[in-house]
Amino acid sequence: MYIPDFKHSADDLLTLFELTPDLVCVAGKDGYFRNFNPAVPQTLEYTREELFSSLIEQFIHPDDRERTSNRRSRLLQGEALLNFQNRYITKTGKIVWLEWTSVYLPEKEIVFALAKNITARKEIEEELQAQFVRYCQLASDLKTHIEEDRKYVAAELHEELAQLASVVKVDLNWISSNTTETSESVKARIQHANITAELLVDTIRRLSFSISPLMLDDLGLDAALEWYCKEFEVTSGITCAFKSKYREATLNKNIRLDVFRICQEVLTNIKKYAGASSIQVGILEIKKNVILHIADDGKGFDQSKEETTPGGLSIYERAAMINAKIKISPSGFFLEF
């Protein structure tokens, strides 16, 4: 039978208390330190006397004091504190991030607390966050430049090529109307050229809209999506119904553009992969949020494919830029913004 050696166990605990790099402390209900291990003064750079003679909150970063006080009140009411993070200011002015796990013993009116110094981790997180912000800004700038270029190309297609094709069509109509002594084969050629010119005009206009939806600026998101769904139905052979019930005026220009582009990409992916015969596109306002919902009667959405294809990546990048949330479920694709 094993008989524990309490003396050696106590010595081992004391050694752990003294040597652990984690901060271990005992605090009173009054907010003063009662005891702590060497890691506390080593980390905060104050002497033991300075730490014992001041309220603990005096060492906490001013911006974190209220939050810490609120959490401490809940601790004293019996709610355990787990992985609570706050900042302390050392004697030399450095900021130290600590992550606390604490428990309150009401019968003794003391708090046992253990903290890890997570300053290095926080610095890495902050640097990653700063890099992410810079990346988002660069991506936003790039997106803006791309959309400006698209708008220019679309305008050139619409204003120049479409007009030239229209002129050719007018000339062909004039030739057809003012030429009487031509063979049937020539008339057939003129008629064919006329039809081709008409198709060319329609194709240029459709291509122009696909590159940059000028209608989006002129008539708004609702009109642009309704038109696009009709065009998608014509070109794909897939029934595509659109309905909306929301206040478009609450959406800024960037959100309208990104929502339109996301809808484009999702419909393209459905056409490629879902094997659907009908699609429903809707924009609804629920409470303070607007939701784009796209559902089809095909295989549904493959989230892994949505996240790895170029079009899928574009969807997630655009959603991130407007702080939108994407949800893919058996009932369809949801974009909440």
Per-residue pLDDT band for 6 (boundaries 50, 70, 90) equals very low
Here the tokens at position 309 are 């294809």
Under a CB-based contact definition with an 8 Å cutoff, are residues 332 and 295 in contact? yes
- Weakest mean pLDDT among 92-101, 235-244, 311-320: 311-320
Is the pLDDT assigned to residue 33 strictly greater than 80? Answer: yes
Q: Could you name the CATH architecture of 119-212?
A: Up-down Bundle (1.20)
Out of 19-23, 162-166, 195-199, 215-219, give the one with best mean pLDDT: 19-23
Of the candidates 34, 84, 82, the residue with the CA atom closest to the CA atom of residue 64: 84
Determine the 3-state secondary structure of 337 from DSSP: coil
Distance CA 278, CA 233 (A): 9
For the domain bounded by 237-337, which CATH number is listed? 3.30.565.10
DSSP 8-state assignment for residue 297: S
Contacts of residue 330, Cβ cutoff 8 Å, sequence gap at least 6: 300
- Weakest mean pLDDT among 112-116, 301-305, 315-319: 301-305
Of the candidates 20, 17, 22, the residue with the CA atom closest to the CA atom of residue 99: 22
Give tens-digit pLDDT for 132-146: 888 777 877 777 777
Distance CA 266, CA 281 (A): 10
Is the pLDDT assigned to residue 58 strictly greater than 90? Answer: yes
Under a CB-based contact definition with an 8 Å cutoff, are residues 285 and 247 in contact? yes
Of the candidates 231, 238, 336, 208, the residue with the CA atom closest to the CA atom of residue 282: 336
Asked if the domains at 6-117 and 237-337 fall in one CATH topology, the answer is no
Enumerate the domain spans of the chain: 6-117, 119-212, 237-337
User: Got the DSSP string for 240-289?
Assistant: EEEEEES-GGGS-HHHHHHHHHHHHHHHHHIIIII--SEEEEEEEEETTE
Percent of the chain past pLDDT 90, that is, above it, reads: 34
Determine the 3-state secondary structure of 226 from DSSP: helix
Is the pLDDT assigned to residue 237 strictly greater than 50? Answer: yes
- The overall average pLDDT reported for the chain is 82
Residues pairing with 35 in the sheet: 26
- Residue whose tokens read 């809707």: 282
For the domain bounded by 6-117, which CATH number is listed? 3.30.450.20
